[in-house]
Structure 1
């Protein structure tokens, strides 16, 4: 069986433990986001929870998935965009499954049980033979078919399946066959993670945001998302690996290689700041700031390991100021993503007690 998570202190609270998380005040209906997983256990049997769950059921597709960027707690709109359906992007499918599992556990209502079973069957069917998951399933072409770590899509899927395989609440009602399939899927996903970790001069580094589903070569997504090492998505991958109890030597080496890469790839003495340009418009820039906390680029060149800043013209630059203002404001090219991870681990990659 898959071993229990052991590093929830690194963030990404295991879904099966979320029932023990701090309770959100119940004076207002929850907005549809991850907060719907942090209510008190008894709330999931309430009329309010059931009302939300009934609407979530209405959004489930024929295939068993859910759309992204959609208020699933509200009834479906007649003009809903069918292009958003059946995806793992932006917490689609994984979040509604986790919520419905809580309502199914609290109420025992067969409608919710069946919806979770259908959703899990969809998730398992979407996995490629190589162990990866696409952004959309059924496949629709283009970058949507790539093995997708971007925005933690694949990692959210694997974390959900790991909790299903554990057999613990709120997934205790899942049958043994689906648990076994979930366990196998996670094992295959871990193998894929180990295969896709990029080496530079023989040293393990980090991961790309997406890979070609057939060749596993680093791949393009949108025009400003080039094949590159990710200073953001790699954090979610490492956290997932560090949650494995009794990791194999290969998993340990992957963690340690990635942590070393984070340390050497940090951008020091620099800060990202908001400012008003000469035309009176808001903008962002990188400024010298001796002693500032380290930053990391979203994209690093696969060969040189230098930060890449790329706008909609797909031309790589070494300076954030070289791309268009619209992208500087509309996309996270630089951030502190690995900082908490590095503070929570020893140099060898083991968690700080």
Structure 2
């Protein structure tokens, strides 16, 4: 679980606001002409930005978080070599998703070509364990120390590789392997199964994640740190600990983790798989994940979720700045996952679990309309840390590397809860209805580009900015041209790193 960087604090959802034409029933000729001109400019900028990104910023079809404007320096969570990409959002899969959106908005196959190149980069770095590690390596010699499926013939057997303990570790933290598989599925759906390698990588990866899921429905953080299945078959429910230490205690033994919305992202992945392929085993996996969330929901007056649980489903410490508590961000993520399961299955227990947690989230919102990341077990008081990592009830001295307070996209989850509550009989209702982007927002996006069609900020080209802006341009063009981006592509929010 990577500590949060400042450039990851912005959650990249495609927030789409309706255009309201006050007092008018039909646009005038001049308004139509102005809009057409803006659409043409948006299309031109989208082409220029995508061309630069795919031809100059990409490495072997992969991407990192930041690149210097002279392209001499590259970085994911740390500095990366010229032969490396980065998986973790807003890295490689997120950029690929933006290309796919641009293709669906315009029908221009240049965007599809860029998306396929990204899919092939992910296929080339898929591990024997079925998923991905954060770093994507393309140097022929360095690749020999990784258990990539594609290079089996060139390297030693996986268990004989030395010096790389991560060589075959599938990572589910920070929406890593989930976002990669989701993107590959969307490419596969767009190509209608026409790329044999992509389809095969999807089937292999989903099978591996099915095998990783515990009988109680939870997924581990990584494939090589699984709890023995014999220990995960009890039908227990979450409970408050009799006591908990206010000093850090390193987790030991069997643990279950919701941190960074790991379980939500795995459930969403299998919902997407079921929607695209219709395989009952994918729906069953998503529902097992939902049942785990219901069991892990805390009882009584704090019906939310913790970040980390022990074998008895009691909240425990995660890292030294992640105390036993009710976590607002992960609670919102669990609500979102349960709503998706309810909308898919019509099972009211998912809705009821989401409703009680959403009510709690509404009640604990802070006066400034933010939320504390952590709320104390029992008292419900907002919990923070001081500069020495002592628990505190004040946010004034909290370290700045981690979001101890923020919006965490909770407001959008609560809005979704309200929408379902108004029409909870229509379980087929899409939660992601899209409208047009305001023209003023498009003008701002266009105004911030340079002569090469890039968005450069403080001397850096950021994938986060590229993905967000390309997505907004695509949505604006799609709305104007009457080319709706297909629902499966919109099913998941753009994958992003959670704080």
SS at match of 2:396: helix
TM-score (normalised: structure 2) = 0.52
Deviation at 1:48, TM superposition (A): 3.1
Rg (Cα) greater in structure = 2
Paired position in structure 1 for 2:115? 49
Q: In the alignment, what sits opposite 1:254?
A: 353
CA contact (8 A) 2:93 2:118 kept: no
Task: Output the CA distance in 2 between the equivalents of 1:350 and 1:239.
Answer: 16
Checking the alignment, whether the CA contact within 8 Å between 2:255 and 2:308 is kept in structure 1 is yes
Contact 2:321 2:385 (C-alpha < 8 Å) held by counterparts: yes
2:255 to 131, 146, 154: 146
Contact 1:301 1:308 survives alignment (8 Å): yes
TM-score, length-scaled by structure 1: 0.72
1:116–1:312 distance in 2 versus 1, CA, 3 Å = farther
CA displacement at 1:190 relative to structure 2: 1.1
Structure 1 residue 157: deviation in Å?
Answer: 0.9
1:83 pairs with 2:166 = yes
CA–CA separation in structure 2 for the residues paired with 1:104 and 1:57: 12
Tell whether the 8 Å contact from 1:143 to 1:220 is kept in structure 2 after alignment. no
The equivalent residue for 1:279 is none
Match of 2:133 in 1: 67
Map Cα deviations across residues 60-97 of structure 1 (whole Å, 9 max, x no partner): 111111012x358x668558865383111122111211
Alignment of structure 1 residues 1-353 onto 2, 5 Å = 25=47, 26-27=50-51, 28-29=53-54, 31=63, 32-38=92-98, 39=100, 40-41=103-104, 43=109, 46-68=112-134, 70=135, 82-83=165-166, 85-105=169-189, 106=191, 108-139=194-225, 146-166=255-275, 168=276, 172=277, 179-200=279-300, 203=301, 205-212=303-310, 214-243=311-340, 244-245=342-343, 247-268=346-367, 270=368, 294-310=369-385, 315-323=390-398, 328-337=399-408, 338-346=410-418, 349-350=421-422
C-alpha displacement of 1:160: 1.0
CA-based RMSD of the aligned residues comes to 3.3
Considering Cα pairs closer than 8 Å and 6+ residues apart, tell me whether 1 or 2 has the greater RCO: 2
Structure 2 residue runs without a partner (length 5+): 1-11, 15-41, 64-91, 147-163, 228-250, 425-430, 432-499
Determine the C-alpha separation between the residues in 2 that align with 1:259 and 1:253. Answer: 10
Structure 1 distance, partners of 2:197, 2:420, is 47
Q: Distance in 2 between matches of 1:104 and 1:193?
A: 30
1:191 Cα deviation after fit: 1.0
What's the CA shift for 1:253? Answer: 2.2
**Do 1:135 and 1:146's aligned partners in 2 also have CA atoms closer than 8 Å?**
no
- Whole-angstrom CA distance in 1 between matches of 2:422 and 2:13: 17
- Could you tell me how far apart the structure 1 residues matched to 2:188 and 2:292 are? 32
**Which ranges of structure 1 fall in alignment gaps of 5 or more residues?**
1-10, 14-21, 271-293
SS at match of 2:314: coil
Q: Is the 8 A contact 1:126 1:134 kept in 2?
A: yes
Deviation at 1:345, TM superposition (A): 4.1
Give the length in aligned residue pairs: 293
C-alpha distance in 2 between matches for 1:222 and 1:128: 23
Distance 1:44 1:110 in 2: 20
